[in-house]
Amino acid sequence: MERISGMMRAVREKVPLVHQITNYVTVNDCANATICAGGSPVMTDEIGDAPMMTGFASALVLNIGTANARVVDAMIACGRAANDAGVTVVLDPVGVGATEFRTSAVKLILEKVEVSVIKGNAGEISIMAGEAGKVRGVDSAGGSGAMAAKTLAERTCTVVGMTGPVDYVSDGKRTYSLSNGHELMGRISGTGCMLSAVVGCYAGTKGASVDSVAAAISAFCIAGELAGEKAQGPGTFKPLFFDALYNMEGGVADDRRRYELCTVSM
Amino acid sequence: MERISGMMRAVREKVPLVHQITNYVTVNDCANATICAGGSPVMTDEIGDAPMMTGFASALVLNIGTANARVVDAMIACGRAANDAGVTVVLDPVGVGATEFRTSAVKLILEKVEVSVIKGNAGEISIMAGEAGKVRGVDSAGGSGAMAAKTLAERTCTVVGMTGPVDYVSDGKRTYSLSNGHELMGRISGTGCMLSAVVGCYAGTKGASVDSVAAAISAFCIAGELAGEKAQGPGTFKPLFFDALYNMEGGVADDRRRYELCTVSM
Amino acid sequence: MERISGMMRAVREKVPLVHQITNYVTVNDCANATICAGGSPVMTDEIGDAPMMTGFASALVLNIGTANARVVDAMIACGRAANDAGVTVVLDPVGVGATEFRTSAVKLILEKVEVSVIKGNAGEISIMAGEAGKVRGVDSAGGSGAMAAKTLAERTCTVVGMTGPVDYVSDGKRTYSLSNGHELMGRISGTGCMLSAVVGCYAGTKGASVDSVAAAISAFCIAGELAGEKAQGPGTFKPLFFDALYNMEGGVADDRRRYELCTVSM
């Protein structure tokens, strides 16, 4: 796989503008994660304002965490503006499957917008991969996780990033497991949302690919490791995490990275 | 009173889902306080989404801090869903009495929803206790604070938690004063909102009672003491507070706790 | 110029209530910056609630960072309530010029509301100063920055605060350059928004003037220096910044302050 260091340098040189329609719980963390990863965040969801902003951006991140009907409309308008302008679209389907509203919102977005990357947790990606993922998952070196990621990537023609104790990334052809991270990442609110912002930085700079999404996930999780080694708990973890992401050296990231190619057969 | 340690263990074992419709100023802090206290937060206020989420939760926390007309409707819909599903409802009447909108919102919620816990600051609880609280407060070992908490608890058939330099908790029969805390807790935004989230964790795990609400308040204020002893100011206080809440040992909490039964006669 | 120390003391004694209709990205930071600077924040944007709150406040801060149509209506209603009650209005025209929506919102606010202070970054103030600023900027000891600030101040009859590597403040008659700060201030989300909140504290206490706006900017930037000297990155910078703002001694602020009167001729 392409090295993290080169990608990281490209992101920091470009300073990609990442337009994010995200939830109001973690939006500040998303803005700071974007800056620390080398990008520049802009948040707006007014339908009369946001699509114009999308046109200036390198990536658009749609996160349905606290979406309401008004915001879903804005997401679709911005998604179409992104498609018109060749802007990479990242979808974070927070809580899909938990409620009908969320499931419908995700369906509608995928129907109306050409999404390049879907980044979700194991539960969300498995639900979106659906029965197909389960039924076909008869043999997978990466286990059911690799199968779900691969299945959803194939079906949606996207790059899928799936997070959990082990992360998976797949474009339907190549599927990797990624094994960096720290348990405190799961003890703060917003880890998944921040990762989507960072994926926006990388995919917005280098295009959406297994390589760019994997580099974003690995860099993010390595920052988590570096912070986790110093933190006394979830509270001190977050500022240390931002520092680690901001100060990360490409060589350190390349050295610490752990991944494996998965063989997923049907 | 029931010990904090046992309650704390129960919360951490159950990991109660706490659905929060709260304000956009402190919502991230509320999410992190919930996690650090042992719960799992979910925030959504779209009326087409939120009541379904309430059904999965152990507690629903309604905080009117930045509520608008749309959000008040969602609060009522979720409150009724909570009542149907036997989910504990905690109300934080931020700024009640300051404006007509807030006073009406609180009145409407109490009319339409069976609320189990009202958690507010001294001003808010006193206003809600109203003249009755003042007139009847002829003798109170806890002073007018204990009287206001007791009066409101009686009138609304709830458990009332009232915060200030000294905190009070009452179910109308038993009223306690609680004396833990640190002055830096009043120097950050969101202390009261975070406490409501933690009350949601405890009342959602053990049911709404003087014991569970008092345990939540005491654990929260002890975390404040532990953080306050190390912090250099409000900025470093917050991460240390989250660490303290997350790392708190039951035995330490039991040892540090300070409370007294109030005799409130009329 | 009037010393920072005296202003700072006045703010801390008054504890001015600062009503803020700001964006959901940085609203928590704005609340905490307000507290650390000595004020008391209140956020509400429900048109049925907010104008009444404005009436209790010492200052109203309008930040269009993530404004939508509903919120712009609330801003105007609150702005008029502020004018009726003699409450100082601070406008932060985030992203003006970038989209038609933002430009129209700023125009509408300036048309309907008597604004006392406009606080923006170099790009925003330059755009608002427009051609006039450029054409007339034939000679300026402060460069084009001083000219833009002065031009906009004259045209709008406001005090203008313009931030950048060097900050400028002007009431159209006197224009100063202010040279405190730290590069990490540009590596977190919300620096500009927090500054507007602090300007609200100072202008709400001492009235809108070159002196009060300059004192707010300088105090804020000196807190940035103090925090930047200790921080390891943007993550640890923010808590240290709040501590520095909260703990700042007037004498230290006076000593560290760097400013110069600009001669801006046409």
Per the prediction, chain C carries an average pLDDT of 94
CA gap C24, A23 in Å, rounded: 9
Segment A37-63 shows an average pLDDT of 96
Between the two ends of chain A, the Cα-to-Cα distance in Å is 24
- Specify the DSSP class assigned to residue C117: E
- Minimal C-alpha gap between B22 and chain A (Å): 10
Residue A90 — pLDDT band, cuts 50, 70, 90? very high
- Minimal C-alpha gap between B207 and chain A (Å): 25
Domains in chain C, number: 1
- Minimal C-alpha gap between C68 and chain B (Å): 14
- Measured between CA atoms, the residue of chain B closest to residue A27 is B28
Segment B225-236 shows an average pLDDT of 98
Q: Does B106 touch chain C (CB under 8 A)?
A: no
Q: Do A31 and C100 touch (CB under 8 A)?
A: no
Beta-carbon contacts of C201 under 8 Å, excluding residues fewer than 6 positions away, are: C11, C16, C18, C34, C37, C38, C39, C59, C216
Q: What is the pLDDT of residues B39-91, one digit of tens each?
A: 999 999 999 999 999 999 999 999 999 999 999 999 999 999 999 999 999 99
Q: Does A175 touch chain B (CB under 8 A)?
A: no
Q: What is the pLDDT of residues C224-261, one digit of tens each?
A: 999 999 999 999 999 999 999 999 999 999 999 999 99
- Specify the DSSP class assigned to residue B113: S
Report the helix count and the strand count for chain A, using DSSP H and E.
11, 11
- Residue contacts between A and B (CB atoms, under 8 Å): 88
CA gap A28, A239 in Å, rounded: 13
Point out the residue among A27, A70, A242 whose CB comes nearest to the CB of C233.
A242
Asked if ipTM goes beyond 0.90, one says: yes
Residue B264 — pLDDT band, cuts 50, 70, 90? confident
Other CB atoms within 10 Å distance of the CB of residue B185: 23
Q: Do A35 and C187 touch (CB under 8 A)?
A: yes
Q: Looking at residue A265, what is its pLDDT?
A: 72
Domain extent for A76: 4-265
Q: What is chain C's Cα-based Rg?
A: 17
Segment C140-144 shows an average pLDDT of 61
**Chain B residues near residue A102 by CB distance under 8 angstroms:** 49
Q: Looking at residue B132, what is its pLDDT?
A: 53
Q: Does A36 touch chain C (CB under 8 A)?
A: yes
Q: Do C28 and B188 touch (CB under 8 A)?
A: no
B238, containing H or E segment:
helix B234-247
CA gap A153, A160 in Å, rounded: 5
A144, containing H or E segment:
helix A143-156
- Measured between CA atoms, the residue of chain C closest to residue B26 is C28
CA gap B266, B121 in Å, rounded: 23
**Chain B residues near residue A28 by CB distance under 8 angstroms:** 28
- Nearest by Cα to B82 from B106, B105, B102, B112: B112
Interface test with B, best of A45, A70, A71, A101 (most B CBs within 10 A): A101
* Burial per residue of A21-55, b for 16 or more beta-carbon CB atoms within 10 angstroms, e otherwise: bbbbbbbbbbbbbbbbbbbbbbbbbbbbbbbbbbb
Other CB atoms within 10 Å distance of the CB of residue B55: 16
Residue B144 — pLDDT band, cuts 50, 70, 90? confident
Q: What is chain A's Cα-based Rg?
A: 17
Residue A199, helix vs strand vs coil: helix
Point out the residue among C25, C65, C233 whose CB comes nearest to the CB of A246.
C233
Q: Does A95 touch chain B (CB under 8 A)?
A: yes
**Chain C residues near residue B24 by CB distance under 8 angstroms:** 24, 27, 43
Distances (CA, A) of A13 to A88, A206, B105, C232: 18, 12, 50, 22
Point out the residue among B28, B44, B246 whose CB comes nearest to the CB of A187.
B246
Point out the residue among B52, B56, B243 whose CB comes nearest to the CB of A236.
B243
Query: Is beta strand A88-92 parallel, antiparallel or unpaired with respect to A59-63?
Result: parallel
Segment B141-162 shows an average pLDDT of 90
Contact yes or no for B242/A235 (Cβ under 8 A): yes
Beta-carbon contacts of B61 under 8 Å, excluding residues fewer than 6 positions away, are: B18, B19, B20, B21, B22, B30, B90, B92, B196, B197, B199, B200
- Minimal C-alpha gap between C46 and chain B (Å): 5
Point out the residue among C28, C101, C189 whose CB comes nearest to the CB of A35.
C189
Contact yes or no for B118/B161 (Cβ under 8 A): yes
- Measured between CA atoms, the residue of chain C closest to residue A71 is C68
- Give all strands of the β-sheet with C17-21 in edge-to-edge order: C40-43, C17-21, C59-63, C88-92, C117-121, C159-163, C167-170, C175-178, C259-261
Residue B139 — pLDDT band, cuts 50, 70, 90? very low
Q: Do B234 and C32 touch (CB under 8 A)?
A: yes
Looking at the predicted structure, is the pLDDT value of residue A97 above 80? yes
**Chain A residues near residue B52 by CB distance under 8 angstroms:** 98-101
Query: Is beta strand C17-21 parallel, antiparallel or unpaired with respect to C59-63?
Result: parallel
Contact yes or no for A59/A200 (Cβ under 8 A): yes
Residue B136 — pLDDT band, cuts 50, 70, 90? very low
Report the neighbours of C using a cutoff of 3 or more CB pairs below 8 angstroms. A, B
Beta-carbon contacts of C90 under 8 Å, excluding residues fewer than 6 positions away, are: C59, C60, C61, C62, C115, C116, C117, C118, C119, C196, C199, C200, C203, C208
- Residue contacts between A and C (CB atoms, under 8 Å): 86
Say which CATH number the domain at C203 has: 3.40.1190.20
- Measured between CA atoms, the residue of chain B closest to residue A30 is B28
Polymer length of chain C: 266
**Chain A residues near residue B247 by CB distance under 8 angstroms:** 232-233
